[in-house]
């Protein structure tokens, strides 16, 4: 595969001159990708007492203009505007970048930031493929950067409490963890190719992916449903629940095999990724299962229904089981499955990202990645589970996996999908 090295020419200089945030300084943040989730990043970091948004960047000039007023209202200071992410990384006033770009830009954006001496808050999933996720970890360690992945469940109180109870043996020895992503997704229909809208740097948006004609169905949000740029719902909403599965089981490596099946049913539209998918992972001493349903469906066990979706996790042990979702957790024990313990979150904090970003800022100040609730290594492993499932789904067969080498052993066809061919100059380097 073509993985030619591309390192920012200003990276070494920026690293050498990067100012460390002092105990009484606010961390200076540059936010990249400010259409939807990125505007939330702008709002939260601008309102945090320990940070200040000093720059915003987007390939769409309309998005940066909208985010400016949000930041200015929250912090009484207007950020700088960039359209080219590389130019933002040259800004020596920036201590850290917050990435809310498309999945196919996460790894490269994080690696470039580390090389430029910036800490990173990166939205989930950490990576677009397994290989580049490991490169993110290598870059964070080499350049001694703090890199947090945005799986905010790791900072939500009732979920942290639930994971501790599992480690304490509240339901006995665990044998199965299951993640549910029953999230209603309607058809994206079909759309013809067309001209690039004014104000959009489409070449940079495509970035590491193959160049294709502009199509509105592959652009805003729907990029999730195309293999070039997204990872389907298992890598979108599902990576949160996949992470909770692995967290609860206490697994710090990848499994020894995976099998995933499913399909895109009912709809005749442009979407490439499945709207129905099941995956099973074998760890030897226990199993992990995951299921995506984007069509009309019922729920499962006591997972909370939020009006259109059933999203959560189930853990099964020798003494009982636990159900957990954004609405709290419940523990049922014994042959009669009696409710033994439960916890509900403060309503206002069900989907709160503030604690996760506060945790990131704490680690930026301490310079210790162990202070992170979701260090890049954790983010990489959970994203890799999604990628493993998608590779099995695309090949239509069970795959054996070498957790130490993070590859599919001698399976040439599967290993071709561990990484990708990158489009110059948007290349994830083999040596970061």
SS3 per-residue string spanning 248-302 = HHCCCCCCCEEEEEEECCCCCCCCCCCCEEEEEEECCCCEEEEEEECCCCCCCCC
Cβ atoms 309, 182 nearer than 8 A: yes
Claim to verify: residue 171 and residue 52 sit in the same structural domain: no
- The whole model's pTM is what? 0.93
Claim to verify: residue 181 and residue 192 sit in the same structural domain: yes
Cβ atoms 244, 296 nearer than 8 A: no
Claim to verify: residue 342 and residue 361 sit in the same structural domain: no
Q: Please check whether residue 3 lies inside any domain of the structure.
A: no
If 0-12 CB within 10 Å is exposed, 13-18 middle and 19+ buried, where does residue 83 land?
Answer: middle
Q: State residue 186's pLDDT score.
A: 97
Claim to verify: residue 99 and residue 213 sit in the same structural domain: no
Within 10 A of 336 (CB to CB), how many other CB atoms are there? 6
CATH number of the domain that residue 281 is part of: 3.30.360.10
Claim to verify: residue 162 and residue 135 sit in the same structural domain: no
Claim to verify: residue 318 and residue 361 sit in the same structural domain: no
Claim to verify: residue 124 and residue 38 sit in the same structural domain: yes
Cite the DSSP H helix spans in 54-176.
61-75, 85-89, 103-115, 130-142, 157-167
Q: Please check whether residue 431 lies inside any domain of the structure.
A: no
Claim to verify: residue 164 and residue 235 sit in the same structural domain: yes
Q: Please check whether residue 423 lies inside any domain of the structure.
A: no
Q: Please check whether residue 429 lies inside any domain of the structure.
A: no
Last residue of a domain, one of 337, 372, 407: 372
Q: Please check whether residue 378 lies inside any domain of the structure.
A: no
Q: Please check whether residue 185 lies inside any domain of the structure.
A: yes
Rounded Cα–Cα distance for residues 118 and 111 (Å):
10
Claim to verify: residue 182 and residue 138 sit in the same structural domain: no
Q: Please check whether residue 425 lies inside any domain of the structure.
A: no
At what angle are helices 157-167 and 238-249 packed, to 10 degrees?
30
CATH number of the domain that residue 53 is part of: 3.40.50.720
**One pLDDT digit (tens) per residue for the chain, 432 residues:** 443 333 233 333 333 334 444 434 899 999 999 998 999 999 999 999 999 999 999 999 989 888 888 888 889 889 999 999 999 999 999 999 999 999 999 999 999 999 999 999 999 999 999 999 999 999 999 999 999 999 999 999 999 999 999 999 999 999 999 999 999 999 999 999 999 999 999 999 999 999 999 999 999 999 999 999 999 999 999 999 999 999 999 999 999 999 999 999 999 999 999 999 999 999 999 999 999 999 999 999 999 998 889 999 999 999 999 999 999 999 999 999 999 999 998 775 566 899 999 999 999 999 999 999 999 999 999 999 999 999 999 999 999 999 999 999 999 999 999 999 999 999 999 999
Q: Please check whether residue 299 lies inside any domain of the structure.
A: yes
Rounded Cα–Cα distance for residues 415 and 7 (Å):
26
Claim to verify: residue 140 and residue 170 sit in the same structural domain: no
Total domain count for the chain? 2
Tokens of 345: 């979150």
Within 10 A of 161 (CB to CB), how many other CB atoms are there? 15
Claim to verify: residue 269 and residue 188 sit in the same structural domain: yes
Cβ atoms 109, 88 nearer than 8 A: no
Domain containing 228 equals 155-347+383-415
Q: State residue 74's pLDDT score.
A: 87
Q: How many helices (H) and strands (E) does the chain have?
A: 12, 15
Claim to verify: residue 242 and residue 213 sit in the same structural domain: yes
């Amino acid at each position: 595969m073509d993985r030619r090295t591309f390192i920012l020419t200003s990276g070494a200089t920026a690293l050498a001159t990067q100012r460390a945030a002092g105990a009484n300084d606010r961390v200076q943040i540059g936010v990249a990708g400010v259409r939807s989730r990125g505007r939330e990043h702008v709002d939260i970091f601008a309102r945090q007492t320990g940070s200040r948004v000093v720059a915003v960047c987007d390939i769409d000039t309309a998005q940066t203009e909208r985010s400016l007023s949000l930041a200015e209202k929250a912090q009484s200071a207007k950020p700088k505007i960039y359209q080219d992410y590389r130019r933002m990384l040259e800004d020596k006033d920036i201590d850290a970048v917050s990435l809310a770009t498309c999945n196919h830009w996460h790894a490269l954006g994080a690696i470039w930031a580390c090389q430029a001496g910036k800490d990173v808050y990166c939205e989930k999933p950490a990576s677009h493929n397994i290989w580049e996720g490991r490169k993110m970890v290598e870059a964070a360690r080499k350049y001694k950067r703090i890199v947090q992945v945005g799986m905010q469940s790791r900072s939500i109180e009732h979920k942290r409490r639930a994971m501790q109870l599992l480690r304490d043996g509240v339901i006995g020895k665990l044998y199965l963890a299951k993640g549910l992503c029953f999230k209603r997704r309607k058809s994206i229909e079909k759309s013809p190719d067309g001209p690039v809208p004014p104000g959009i740097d489409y070449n940079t948006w495509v970035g590491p992916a193959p160049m294709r004609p502009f199509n509105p169905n592959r652009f805003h949000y729907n990029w999730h449903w195309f293999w070039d740029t997204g990872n389907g719902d298992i890598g979108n909403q599902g990576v949160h629940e996949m992470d909770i599965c692995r967290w609860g089981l206490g697994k710090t490596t990848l499994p020894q095999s995976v099998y995933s099946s499913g399909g895109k049913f009912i709809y005749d539209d442009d979407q490439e990724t499945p709207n129905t998918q099941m995956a099973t992972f074998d760890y030897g001493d226990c199993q992990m299962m995951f299921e995506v349903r984007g069509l009309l469906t019922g729920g499962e066990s006591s997972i909370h229904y939020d009006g259109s979706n059933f999203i959560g996790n189930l853990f099964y042990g020798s003494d009982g089981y636990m159900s957990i979702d954004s609405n709290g957790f419940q523990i049922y024990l014994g042959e009669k499955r009696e409710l033994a313990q439960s916890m509900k979150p403060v309503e206002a904090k069900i989907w709160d990202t503030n604690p996760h970003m506060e945790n990131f800022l704490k680690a930026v100040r301490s310079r210790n990645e162990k202070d992170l609730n979701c260090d890049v290594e954790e983010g990489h492993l959970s994203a890799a589970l999604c990628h493993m499932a998608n590779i099995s789904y695309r090949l239509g067969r069970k795959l054996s996996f070498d957790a130490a080498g993070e590859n599919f052993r001698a399976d040439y066809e599967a290993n071709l999908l561990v990484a990708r061919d990158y489009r110059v100059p948007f290349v994830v380097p083999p040596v970061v």
